A and B are shown apart, each in its own frame.
Chain A
Amino acid sequence: MMQNPYIPYPVDVRDIIVENEAKDIKTFELVFHDEKDRERFAFRCGQFAELSILGAGESPIGIASSPMETDHVQFTVKKMGVVTSALHNLEKGATMGVRGPYGNGFPMKRLEGSNIVIVAGGFAFTTLRSLTNYILHPDNRARFGNLTVIYGARSPGELIYKYDLAAWAEMEGIELHVTVDAGDDDWTGLVGYVPTVLKDVAPSADNAVAVVCGPPVMIRFSLPVLAELGFGADRIINSLEMRMKCGIGKCGRCNIGEKYVCKDGPVFTLEELRHLPQEY
């Protein structure tokens, strides 16, 4: 009997972390009711799930926790519309649903053995944070080369995963650069747009792959910097957002050309994107 891909797995909200000063980005830590569901949900970095709130609907959200964290799964959600607002109204202990994991995820075989440069802006950091934690895990670290993470937000209050940023700053095996567009009285770190910091850091393109996620303007200015540093289009990886409904390539909504962002993506190399219509 085939599994019904439209039925969400029931999960409990074990914890809610308010990530930013504006209080409109929250991380939800979810625990599956059923162990079998948790096993079925085995996921890779870069995949997403449809978060389901009965009565409100569903929203496709990138998975924010590393696959190595096996007893829960985390999603970081910005409050934008009907479903995300309903999510934000949930309290600890509430029950909701998760469908997935969907999408192609990051190309881990390509990333293994390479130096990784992560370039992230604002709220799009979520799946890259999953990737960073995955790489840093002792079981995995040796399979990857150097890890450089450049992450920025509009202001110090808008940085998310501050607890991870603090922990990473103390670790070996990761070169971390955190920046803000504009500092405040307490901020002692870097000030500058992500593309500018990227240019200053100038990570080597030698045997390196860049993974870039952020607001369109950040991506637009980061790509030329990467190109100048010698990153070929097939060594620059993006994760796209698109309006979705089914998440499984049937409802016809999320295509870019012949590719469905939910199935053939959301992760694409720049090389692949150049072959697709500019319709996103």
Chain B
Amino acid sequence: MSDLEQTLRETARRLLTEEQVDLVIGFGQGTLPLRTTPRFIRDPDQVDQLVWNLSCENNLSTYLKHTQGKVGIVAKGCDARSIVGEIVERQIPRENVVVIGVPCQGVIDRQAIEAELGEREVLEAQIAHGQVVLRGADFEEALAVREVLCDDCIVCHHKNPPLYDVLVGELAEDGGDVGEYPTVQKLESWSHDERWAYFSSEFSRCIRCYACREACPCCYCPECFVDQSQPSWIDRGDDLSDIIAFHLVRIYHVAGRCLDCGACARACPMHIDLRTLGRKLEKDVREMYEYESGMSLEATPPLSTFRQDDPQEFIK
């Protein structure tokens, strides 16, 4: 157990015994290698279940849609930004959240490892000394951590939570430049036809499981537009145009609020590239409105704000 884990557990214990919160949401050991799983802890004696490592991939803030009472929540940089967003959008009052901020070193890209290993099943994984050692029934492979981290984590410039009540661990050094968007720049270099072909191919694998929607902290509508019947906006079959419509409309619904945490892409069982579109919109919002989602409790998302003196240059 690392020092960070120890501190995390002590913090959770303290928050619960002092009754600052009714519940702590964090990560516990998963049942598979390279997995952790969300843990909901009410009893201070159970805080030893909490872990912290490069497999803490879920954005736990999505659970704040459903919680009651005061909640302590473990948050990486992106997760904490999501929490700011949820507070700004009045999904949870500020006083009901105790943010246990943990500066993030990135999360492991399991889909990349799966692609690398092909049909070889990982039975054991150990992360130590900058390496991930993967063991199966008849193989052992050591990969540099940097090789298996999520690409977007490597260039992330918000590793430190912008909002926290308690900080666990040392502040991290942000990677990359603020304006760096390698995957989006590649997309922007393509012709319209190339983009259409790429996304048609990606979305053709969609099975409408809505894992992307449920994992996303911004998607909290009690009735999603997909489920409405009066009127019925899009059909629910496997027509590619309906599938693409769902994803495009969802991305636009979260535009200006999405901070590219990647929860959607990680949740998708069909490994669809869900991040590039979100990232593109995030870049556009930053460039057009000089706004970054989830950095300040005072700022409001530009697409949800209206002032009478808003310039309307783009539609004149």
Binding site for B on A (CB under 8 A): 81-82
Contact = CB atoms under 8 A, between A and B. Distances in A.
B304 interface: no
A247 B230 CA distance: 23
Nearest to B232: A82
Nearest to B229: A82
A81 B232 CA distance: 13
A82 B230 CA distance: 7
A81 B229 CA distance: 9
B134 to A, nearest CB: 39
4 contacts: A81-B229, A81-B230, A82-B229, A82-B230
A69 to B, nearest CB: 34
B42 to A, nearest CB: 26
Contacts of B229: 81-82
Q: Which 4 A-B pairs have the closest CB atoms?
A: A82-B229, A82-B230, A81-B230, A81-B229
A52 to B, nearest CB: 16
Interface string B25-45: 000000000000000000000
Contacts of A81: 229-230
A84 to B, nearest CB: 12
A230 B229 CA distance: 47
A22 to B, nearest CB: 20
B233 to A, nearest CB: 13
A119 to B, nearest CB: 34
Contacts of B230: 81-82
A255 to B, nearest CB: 21
Nearest to B231: A82
A82 B231 CA distance: 9
Nearest to A56: B229
Nearest to A85: B230
A68 to B, nearest CB: 37
Interface string B218-253: 000000000001100000000000000000000000
Contacts of A82: 229-230
A82 B228 CA distance: 11
A179 B229 CA distance: 37
A228 B229 CA distance: 45
Nearest to A83: B229
B222 to A, nearest CB: 17
B184 to A, nearest CB: 41
A81 B228 CA distance: 12
A195 B18 CA distance: 52
